[in-house]
Structure 1
């Protein structure tokens, strides 16, 4: 039996609660799903062991850290570039948050944060200096929304 078939409605409810707030206490989760804390703790530990829960993270206000520009760069590569090379080209750049290799055009989307337009310029130049990159297109984020994350206050 696959893990997906073993997940019941309570497991999925626990996961949704943890996605919304990873610091939520076992007691709070137990109250919300109608179980006592011990079985909830066992379920969470099982989900962690099974690799369903990969970890816990902190959501940071990047604007307050001085990295106010969030952007994506579409990258196009030479036709014979392998997928690992595509990811490696962006992984070396510390400002890069994520790299998505995709089917179609472009070949990859690179998600990153920078402090200002000059910083953005340098990062795009860095991406373009990879000998396999044949084209880029930069998209600056104006606003964002993510399921399970508290909305940002208007500026």
Structure 2
């Protein structure tokens, strides 16, 4: 945690993490400051990159994306150029919700969200397997999300 964040900054961030559309007056009341200092702090947190944006959190099930699979990906080449090519290509696949480079027996772990298993099979065959340098994949289907923090 950065040293330049005080207890008020942290309180503001905690509230915004769960209630991003809270009015500034209510935010100020909750953290124990007046409106002007909270606005100043918000601007500083945004300008410094601590707050990177505000967004709506969508319900994936209501959006028709109830199927979740985690995919281990092993590449056939792990030199920097190959990694960068894979990273760039992953950004163009909307069904890939998260992509993490992993220090393990495989190279990447993907979180993939689709409508159903048939849709997932299509995405795996046509999009994920076609990514640069993919040598092997292993899929794990999620049965239930116990905790998902946006």
Give the TM-score range, shorter chain: 0.7 to 0.9
CA–CA distance in structure 2, aligned partners of residues 31 and 115 of structure 1: 42
Q: Aligned pair count?
A: 146
Aligned pair 1:113/2:113, yes or no?
Answer: yes
* Ranges in structure 1 where 5+ consecutive residues have no aligned partner: 150-155
Cα-Cα RMSD = 1.8
Q: TM-score, normalised by structure 1?
A: 0.85
CA–CA distance in structure 1, aligned partners of residues 16 and 48 of structure 2: 16
* Ranges in structure 2 where 5+ consecutive residues have no aligned partner: none
Choose the corresponding residue for 1:17, options 15, 18, 41. Answer: 15
Choose the corresponding residue for 2:52, options 33, 51, 54. Answer: 54
> In the TM superposition, what whole-angstrom CA distance separates every residue of 1:66-115 from its partner, at most 9, and x where no partner exists?
11112221100014343212323322222112211122222111122111
1:123 CA displacement: 1.0
CA–CA distance in structure 1, aligned partners of residues 58 and 78 of structure 2: 38
Equivalent residue for 1:98? 98
Aligned pair 1:39/2:37, yes or no?
Answer: yes
Ranges of 4+ aligned residues in structure 1 off by more than 6 Å: none
CA–CA distance in structure 2, aligned partners of residues 29 and 146 of structure 1: 24
Q: TM-score, normalised by structure 2?
A: 0.88
